[in-house]
Amino acid sequence: MGRSPCCEKAHTNKGAWTKEEDERLIAHIKAHGEGCWRSLPKAAGLLRCGKSCRLRWINYLRPDLKRGNFTEEEDELIIKLHSLLGNKWSLIAGRLPGRTDNEIKNYWNTHIRRKLLSRGVDPATHRPLHQPLSDITISFVKKEERSSTEDKDDVHVMHNYQKQQQQEKLLRCPDLNLELCISPPFQEMNSSTVQPVKREGESVITYCFTCSLGLHKSQGCNCKCVIPSTAFLGLEKQHFRGK
DNA sequence: AATGGTTCCAACCGCTATGCA
DNA sequence: CTGCATAGCGGTTGGAACCAT
């Protein structure tokens, strides 16, 4: 047997939240903290489902939300992150303190898409609009199954294409490290996963593979979490104002 | 002032991964 | 191990606000 349902859908309110509902939710979370969304509505005296409460809190009521217009700097950062991560709004939001995934998603769809289109850039691919793809060859034929001349040609084309892609990435985001290849983490010292990093003029910083992927403080994080979450993809200092 | 079109964004929906019983 | 609930995510929608005619 599983658990009982999170809420009685027939007896829950829908639509816009009232001021009173907001106040109840804020007061409850202030008193008891976030979490256990299942039991929250009843405990807070709200006729809403837990999912709705969670969304309302995360997207609108949280005290650390920035609100207000996006800066030009934030625009550019969102564009860069989107070119890297695609529609991973929660990951993008994680790099923009005080912004929610929903807010960024809406902002992307209403402002940035248009902005990119006006620049002649396809917002989905971040490539110039109407760029011919005729020079791209994708081959699934095994090397040993190809003739020697064929092989030579394919390798040549793919090599040029990869080079072109790398150059595009550099032009797009010159200040970001775009090498997102997946490989075993760098191993050092006794620990199997903790990496030491030394920067010029700084003390030694250590972080685990989990943190290096931007999963700071997640379950898999086994370091002391001294790396700022904003350091992912080399974005620290450059793009973030202190909170 | 009335009307119709457009923009914006909060909220909902449906799906997946994870965890619990 | 299985089935279900929960949490979280991305896509979509409804309707209020705004703008042009």
The whole-number Å distance from A16's CA to B4's C1' is 25
Instruction: Report pLDDT for A173.
Output: 52
Instruction: Report pLDDT for A152.
Output: 37
Q: Is residue A73 pLDDT above 80, yes or no?
A: yes
Please state whether strand C lies within 7 Å of residue A5 at its CB atom: yes
Task: Among A20-29, A139-148, A213-222, name the most confident range.
Answer: A20-29
Cβ-based neighbours of A225, under 8 Å, separated by 6 or more: A207, A211, A216, A217
Per-residue pLDDT reduced to its tens digit, A15-72: 888 888 888 888 888 888 887 888 888 888 888 888 888 888 888 888 888 877 888 8
Find which nucleotide's C1' atom is closest to A93's CA: C9
Q: Give the Å distances, CA to CA, from A216 to A101, A176, A221, A227, A233.
A: 17, 19, 6, 8, 13
Q: Which nucleotides of B are covered by protein (CB under 7 A)?
A: 7-14, 19-21
Cα end-to-end span (Å), chain A: 45
pLDDT band (50, 70, 90) for residue A168: low
The whole-number Å distance from A210's CA to B16's C1' is 21
Q: How far apart are CA A62 and CA A33, in angstroms?
A: 11
Q: Mean of the pLDDT values across residues A77-94? A: 87
pLDDT band (50, 70, 90) for residue A214: very low
What does strand B contact on the protein, if contact means CB under 7 A? Answer: A 1-3, 13-17, 51-52, 55-56, 59-60, 102-103, 105-107, 109-111, 219
Q: Is residue A101 pLDDT above 60, yes or no?
A: yes
Please state whether strand C lies within 7 Å of residue A106 at its CB atom: yes
Residue matched to tokens 């809406």: A106
Is residue A87 a contact partner of residue A106, using CB atoms and an 8 Å limit? no
Q: How far apart are CA A164 and CA A170, in angstroms?
A: 10
Instruction: Report pLDDT for A194.
Output: 38
Q: How far apart are CA A131 and CA A118, in angstroms?
A: 15
Instruction: Report pLDDT for A177.
Output: 46
For the entire predicted model, the pTM comes to: 0.62
Q: Is residue A145 pLDDT above 80, yes or no?
A: no
Angle subtended at Cα A129 by Cα A159 and Cα A107, rounded to the nearest 5 degrees: 115
Please state, rounded to an integer, the average pLDDT across all residues of chain A: 63
The whole-number Å distance from A17's CA to B11's C1' is 9
Q: What is the phi/psi pair of residue A182, to 5°?
A: -95, 125
Long-range contacts of A4-8 (CB under 8 A, 24+ apart): A6/A37, A6/A38, A6/A49, A6/A50, A6/A51, A7/A38, A7/A41, A7/A48, A7/A49, A7/A50, A7/A51
Instruction: Report pLDDT for A183.
Output: 39
Please state whether strand C lies within 7 Å of residue A160 at its CB atom: no
Please state whether strand C lies within 7 Å of residue A218 at its CB atom: no
Helix residue ranges, H only, A33-147: 40-44, 50-56, 72-85, 89-94, 101-107, 113-118
The whole-number Å distance from A14's CA to C13's C1' is 14
